[in-house]
Amino acid sequence: MDDCLSVFENHNSIKEMADIVDEVKQLRQLYNTRQYDAMRQHINQLTMKYLQDTGYWNITHPDMPYTDQQRFINAEAFLKAKGFSVLAKYGIRV
């Protein structure tokens, strides 16, 4: 995430954005500490939390990630897109 996290943190007053910031931080922490099983479980929870959005994401990004690094990159890219979607929903331009 070419670091949009700082942009997202500026809008933490929006509950949805605060949730995304927390999700990104947790994902990064799990990946950086090599807790790959927990990271995969976290990604599965994200899939259930954002079920419709992840469905659209998977249709438009059909290449399945196979490695933990690919899973991390894919999940972070999804959260980045979701974050910008939330900002757009509230009419915030960055």
pLDDT digits (tens, 9 = 90+) for 17-28: 999 999 999 999
Cα–Cα separations (whole angstroms), residue 38 to 27, 31, 58: 9, 9, 21
Do the Cβ atoms of 47 and 40 come closer than 8 Å? Answer: no
What pLDDT sits at residue 3? 84
**Residue ranges per domain, the chain?**
5-89
| Tens-place pLDDT, residues 46-72 | 999 999 999 999 999 989 999 999 999
- The Cα–Cα gap between 83 and 5 comes to 9
State what percent of residues in the chain have pLDDT above 70: 98
Q: Are 75 and 27 in contact (CB under 8 A)?
A: yes
pLDDT of 38 higher than 80: yes
